[in-house]
Homo-oligomer: A and B are copies of this chain.
Amino acid sequence: MSYCDTCVIRNQAICSALSTEELSALNGIGRRRELEPGESLMWEGDDSLLVANVIDGVLKLSTGTEDGREQIVGVVYPSDFIGRPFGATSSQNVTALTNARVCIFSRSDFDAFASQHPALEHKLLQRTLSELDRTRRWMLLLGRKNAEEKLATFLLEMADRLGTEANGTISFDLPFSRQQVGDVLGLTIETVSRQITRLKKEGVIDLPSRRAVTILDRQSLEDRAG
């Protein structure tokens, strides 16, 4: 009996490339770990000692300057892969935003296993290529969009990832604090707050609680997203 047998992301994660026997071999070198919000799994600049699959929860990838400015460079969800295989150092911090469960492997074990399983590497390549595309599209937001466009784009992305629809509106709970939204968008917390408040005042969104968002007028958000 292996963890993988009951794994909910078994068919979405890169593991889906493997046969039952191969999976059981992979299971042998992996182990589960739970993370609490704020807990980190890797640190920027550290040796790349492990890689992992996200089973449940949301985590952020971030980098920072010496003087404490931070930029969130990626957000990962269940079935996403984290860590840097085939490389000596981690180039980002990986930190849980919510309670999270991950399936971790020592990097050397994973590298060896992957090198012998081309189908797994193929899945990982596809994932990495998509992630690179998504990351590059985000650069347009960071470099060229203003605060309103940034917030609108961000809320639409969150809605697509996390939203549930009910009678024409889309609702979700943000896995981010206001400061973290700022760290994703390259804005200060105050600018984020003002833009969100403004969207609410103008009837585009509703804010049932601090972390909850309801999109009332998706079209308007799209118009504002640039």
A residues apposed to B, CB below 8 Å:
61, 63-67, 69-71, 73-74, 84-87, 91-92, 115, 118, 121-122, 124-126, 128-133, 135-140, 142-145, 183, 185-186, 226
Give the docked Cα–Cα distance between A61 and B129 (Å): 15
A91 touches B137 (CB 8 A): yes
A144 touches B86 (CB 8 A): no
Give the docked Cα–Cα distance between A124 and B118 (Å): 12
The number of times this chain is found in the oligomer is 2
Given A121-B118, A121-B122, A144-B71, decide whether A135 and B132 contact each other with a Cβ distance below 8 A.
Answer: yes
Given A121-B125, A136-B91, decide whether A143 and B71 contact each other with a Cβ distance below 8 A.
Answer: yes
Given A142-B139, A142-B142, decide whether A226 and B65 contact each other with a Cβ distance below 8 A.
Answer: yes
A143 touches B142 (CB 8 A): yes
Extra A-B contacts (13), CB below 8 Å, given A92-B136, A128-B129, A135-B139 = A65-B140, A69-B144, A70-B144, A71-B143, A73-B137, A74-B136, A85-B129, A118-B118, A118-B122, A121-B122, A128-B132, A139-B139, A144-B186
